[in-house]
A and B are shown apart, each in its own frame.
Chain A
Amino acid sequence: MEIGPIVRALTRNRTRVLLIVLQIAITLAVVTNAVNMIATERTKMKQASGFDDDNLLWVFSRPFADSFGDRAFRITTTRSDVRALRTIPGVKSVVNTNFIPWQGGGSSGEVKAAGGDGSSYRTQEYTASPAFTDTLGVKIVSGRNIGEGDINDEPNATTANVIISRGLERLIFKGQSAVGKQFIEPDNSVDTIVGVFDPFYNPYGWPIHEYCLVYPGTVARNGALFLVRVNPGAMKSVSQAVEKKLLSVNDGRNFEMRTISEVRDKYFTEGRIVIMAMTAVIILIVIVTGLGIVGVTSFSVTERKKQIGTRRALGATKSAILRYFLMENWLITNSGVLLGILLAYGLNYLLVTHTSGVKLDWRYLIAGVTLLWVQGIVATLVPAMRAAAVSPVIATRGV
């Protein structure tokens, strides 16, 4: 088949061709950048916390009864709570801690290495019972875990045995083992590191996502907080049983509960919206552009019926007609694609400089071009087949 005549025919229908070319170009630019945005968000969302997120339940007990005004009472009740929660079938482990994964923040403080160069390091700091590692599903990689014996709830204590995340160990001790080393707190109290755990990732307002220091202790001052790790599949039954169980320990309080998956979803709200929206945009764009190609090709078939009939009368086979229209569309698609590649990079440049966009991955361009080719063929096929079905008789008819 000769391309020359097709091109010459196209240049005679300049506007219509230009419209489709533009549409395909913008489609390519939008689709590739949308895929790029989706991929960027997915990468962010793939970031693992290192915890058993899917099987974690956060429980918050908010007391209103006067008896909770007493610190000792709060502490003993909290301990009873932990024991009670452990008896619920399906519960694997329970920790009393003020740490909540994926809420986008937490508590932090600054520490100095004893005998170090005097520089302070900011790190996330949480208080927890020894079940912290078991409940989150992280491992002690060196030294030992904190134990019941390390817990000292005395507010004026000046020493503590602590565990830290491996990220913090690397930050401060640069490859040396942290076990046995000491931190000096701003109030001059001293923490002795007894163990290092891994992994740990919790997004924070500041770049301290992987740094964590855990004090052994009871969290009960403004209500008691627990993380409950359940056996796979037991989340529903456990969360239904929690309130009743804790009320049986003490009914002078209310409860709040959330699964860590919910907390995590909320943290990634923006990313999820971007993914959903851009997916919708891609699907709709492909449909709209596809319908546009179907429509425009249909019109050009109707318009050229007589010409097609004449070609048929002059001996063109059906498949030659089909090929003619497919080839015509492929040429148009390719012009659109060439322009679209420029537009895609242009749009990406704007998104990178003016928003939080990430540089366009060229592989998405390849995918986008392939998609447009397939779309072009599919969308042209129906009207092209209609064209092929035009009877040669039409040539001799007077319209």
Chain B
Amino acid sequence: MFAYNLRIAIKSLRRHPLLTGVIIAGIALGICASTTFTTVRHMFARDPLPGRSSRIFYVRMDNWDPATPYPDDGGGTNPHHVPPQVAYRDAMELMRSNIPVRQSVMFAANVIVFPEKRAARPYSDRGRMVFSDFFTMFGVPFHYGGPWDRRADAKAEQVAVIDDATNQKLFGGTNSVGKRLRLGTRDFTIVGVLAPWRPFIRMYDVTQNFVQQPEPIYLPFNTAISMEIRPGGNSDGWKPVGPTYRDFLASDVDCLQFWVELRSPTDRASYQTFVDNYVRQEKTKGRFPRPLNNQVTSLLDLLKEIGIVRPAMTAMAVMSILFLIICSLNLTGLLLGKFLSRAPELSVRRALGATRGDIFLQHLIECELVGVAGGVIGMLLSLGVLRFIAKFITATTVISLDPEMILAALFLSLVAGGIAGLYPAWRACKLQPAVQLKV
């Protein structure tokens, strides 16, 4: 019976190709718009580190000017008025704690790469200076080798991790672990090569352009300090700083991101106490003049705090869903007209023994057919539109439909087709066989 109903439905759709086209196009547009904009929003709103994010915390300390609190942009994105980064000397003290399972202070800076090949010109690329725990904490995938060990951190060894693209460029994609890499004035040994890795949100540094691609080169933090590399990116200070690197290290300039991984809420509480105690102790030395204001914020809370989901994205998602509703209403109207204009045929079928259920099923199948056809076309359209938007936002095509969104879109099209078709199908099956027959 289902197969027969399917055949009737297809036949009916093919009988009015223009109407069918209009109906399917309407659903496709609705699905495309709603899928596109909810996906864009979803890209920002989703957990960037599923399973781990609740254990990852960002640490901030208020070492700002006693006269004025750390400024806000007026948009309420820094409710605690705490500097978004920490200073070197404090980071080094915090790193002594053994409460976190893992921890890493870090910064971004450009490094100059000298390719082995004589012909290739040296070039400058983005690097990130981290502790070895960084790779595990943020789930960084390796293709060859792995992170350096903690001893390399302690001894400021000249080891490096490079990303897949750099490995392609410098070593033709072969296993380059153990090979030499000249960076600036020093030679490094490659210990790991990343697998292609493109988190949509560069969650470990949201202080600037957080949709940027992760850095191509990773070096031990202490090694970078020993090379007197200055942090790129934002830096905040309110006190004068001397010109030398030593002056910088001893200053209160906030320019490093500090992350810890804490096992449990208990650990989180004791870590907060640890940070507070450290600041209290520094206060006795005349530092940290402002009231105690230290923030140990979970990754997800931090993303929420800085407003990673832009209000405009929510607005567009709402508008696109309303658009889908319009498309569904439109579909309902057209299907209703179509089904009722077929009343004579339906009366004949009823007279010949079709039950209400048969008629209902036949029409619902027709609705679901257009729903799914529209959904699939809409999703394909959406893929194209998303690529375009992704180019716009990140200069890459990183936004795409994850399985979650594909399922959601298919489900949405089934629901849209179903809801839009329910009423017309019900009306069709309620047609009295006698009333319509020209007897």
**Within the complex, which residue of B71, B72, B312, B332 is in contact with A270, where a contact is CB–CB below 8 Å?**
B312
- The 3 A-B pairs at the shortest CB distance, nearest first, are namely A187-B240, A299-B337, A355-B311
**A291/B337 in contact, CB under 8 A:** no
**A186/B240 in contact, CB under 8 A:** yes
| Cα-based distance from A20 to B332 in the complex (angstroms) | 10
Among A62, A110, A186, A284, chain B packs the most CB atoms within 10 A around the CB of A284
* Additional A-B contacts beyond A273-B392, A288-B326 (10; CB < 8 A): A33-B319, A37-B319, A120-B68, A205-B73, A254-B124, A278-B316, A291-B26, A295-B337, A355-B311, A357-B315
| Cα-based distance from A186 to B68 in the complex (angstroms) | 13
Question: Please, which residues of chain B bring their CB within 8 A of the CB of A274?
Answer: 312, 315-316
How many A residues, CB 8 Å from partner? 62
Give the Cβ gap from A13 to chain B, nearest Cβ, in Å.
Answer: 10
| Cα-based distance from A103 to B122 in the complex (angstroms) | 27
**B338/A299 in contact, CB under 8 A:** yes
**A296/B337 in contact, CB under 8 A:** yes
Question: Please, which residues of chain A bring their CB within 8 A of the CB of B232?
Answer: 222
Nearest-neighbor residue (CB-CB) of B77 within chain A: A205
**B392/A269 in contact, CB under 8 A:** yes
The B interface is mostly helix, strand or loop, or mixed, namely: helix
Give the Cβ gap from A229 to chain B, nearest Cβ, in Å.
Answer: 25
Question: Please, which residues of chain A bring their CB within 8 A of the CB of B338?
Answer: 299
Tell me if B33 counts as interface (CB < 8 A to partner A): yes
**A356/B312 in contact, CB under 8 A:** yes
How many B residues, CB 8 Å from partner? 60
| Cα-based distance from A302 to B122 in the complex (angstroms) | 75
Task: Tell me whether A186 and B239 are in contact in the complex, defined as CB-CB below 8 angstroms, given that A207-B73, A278-B316 are known contacts.
Answer: yes
Task: Tell me whether A355 and B314 are in contact in the complex, defined as CB-CB below 8 angstroms, given that A30-B319, A120-B67, A295-B337 are known contacts.
Answer: yes
Question: A21-29, A143-151, A168-176, A388-396: which lies at the B interface?
Answer: A21-29
| Cα-based distance from A207 to B389 in the complex (angstroms) | 29
**B326/A27 in contact, CB under 8 A:** yes
Interface string of B65-87 (1 = CB under 8 A from A): 10110011110000000000000
Give the Cβ gap from A17 to chain B, nearest Cβ, in Å.
Answer: 10
Tell me the total A-B contact number using a CB cutoff of 8 A: 155
Give the Cβ gap from A309 to chain B, nearest Cβ, in Å.
Answer: 17
The A interface is mostly helix, strand or loop, or mixed, namely: helix
Question: Please, which residues of chain B bring their CB within 8 A of the CB of A187?
Answer: 239-240
Tell me if A64 counts as interface (CB < 8 A to partner B): yes
Give the Cβ gap from A273 to chain B, nearest Cβ, in Å.
Answer: 6
Nearest-neighbor residue (CB-CB) of B211 within chain A: A269
Tell me if B423 counts as interface (CB < 8 A to partner A): yes
Give the Cβ gap from A378 to chain B, nearest Cβ, in Å.
Answer: 16
**B112/A64 in contact, CB under 8 A:** yes
Tell me if B168 counts as interface (CB < 8 A to partner A): no
**B29/A291 in contact, CB under 8 A:** no
Task: Tell me whether A281 and B320 are in contact in the complex, defined as CB-CB below 8 angstroms, given that A206-B73, A288-B327, A291-B26 are known contacts.
Answer: yes
Nearest-neighbor residue (CB-CB) of A118 within chain B: B67
Question: Please, which residues of chain B bring their CB within 8 A of the CB of A269?
Answer: 392-393
Identify the A interface with B (CB < 8 A). 15-16, 19-20, 22-23, 26-27, 29-30, 33-34, 37, 62, 64, 66, 105, 110, 120, 122, 155-156, 185-188, 205-207, 222, 254, 269-270, 272-274, 277-278, 280-281, 284-285, 288-289, 291-292, 295-296, 298-300, 302-303, 347, 350-351, 354-357, 398-399
**A295/B316 in contact, CB under 8 A:** no
**A302/B341 in contact, CB under 8 A:** yes
Identify the B interface with A (CB < 8 A). 19, 22, 26, 29-30, 33, 37, 65, 67-68, 71-74, 110, 112, 114, 121-124, 185, 208, 230, 232, 234, 238-240, 243, 310-312, 314-316, 318-320, 322-323, 325-327, 329-330, 332-334, 336-338, 340-341, 389, 392-393, 423, 427, 438
**A278/B29 in contact, CB under 8 A:** no
Question: Please, which residues of chain B bring their CB within 8 A of the CB of A280?
Answer: 33
Task: Tell me whether A19 and B329 are in contact in the complex, defined as CB-CB below 8 angstroms, given that A281-B323, A355-B314 are known contacts.
Answer: yes
Give the Cβ gap from B72 to chain A, nearest Cβ, in Å.
Answer: 7
Question: Please, which residues of chain A bring their CB within 8 A of the CB of B393?
Answer: 269, 273
Task: Tell me whether A284 and B323 are in contact in the complex, defined as CB-CB below 8 angstroms, given that A19-B332, A295-B333 are known contacts.
Answer: yes
| Cα-based distance from A196 to B275 in the complex (angstroms) | 46
**A284/B329 in contact, CB under 8 A:** no
| Cα-based distance from A302 to B322 in the complex (angstroms) | 30
**B243/A155 in contact, CB under 8 A:** yes
Question: Please, which residues of chain A bring their CB within 8 A of the CB of B114?
Answer: 64
Nearest-neighbor residue (CB-CB) of A207 within chain B: B74
Question: Please, which residues of chain B bring their CB within 8 A of the CB of A398?
Answer: 438
Give the Cβ gap from B70 to chain A, nearest Cβ, in Å.
Answer: 10
Question: Please, which residues of chain B bring their CB within 8 A of the CB of A222?
Answer: 110, 230, 232
Nearest-neighbor residue (CB-CB) of B344 within chain A: A399
Nearest-neighbor residue (CB-CB) of A188 within chain B: B240
**Within the complex, which residue of B124, B319, B322, B334 is in contact with A292, where a contact is CB–CB below 8 Å?**
B334
Give the Cβ gap from B40 to chain A, nearest Cβ, in Å.
Answer: 8
**B123/A299 in contact, CB under 8 A:** no
**A270/B310 in contact, CB under 8 A:** yes
Task: Tell me whether A64 and B71 are in contact in the complex, defined as CB-CB below 8 angstroms, given that A15-B423, A23-B333, A187-B240 are known contacts.
Answer: no
Task: Tell me whether A34 and B319 are in contact in the complex, defined as CB-CB below 8 angstroms, given that A15-B336, A254-B124 are known contacts.
Answer: yes
**B122/A254 in contact, CB under 8 A:** yes
Question: Please, which residues of chain A bring their CB within 8 A of the CB of B316?
Answer: 273-274, 277-278
**B323/A299 in contact, CB under 8 A:** no
**A284/B22 in contact, CB under 8 A:** no
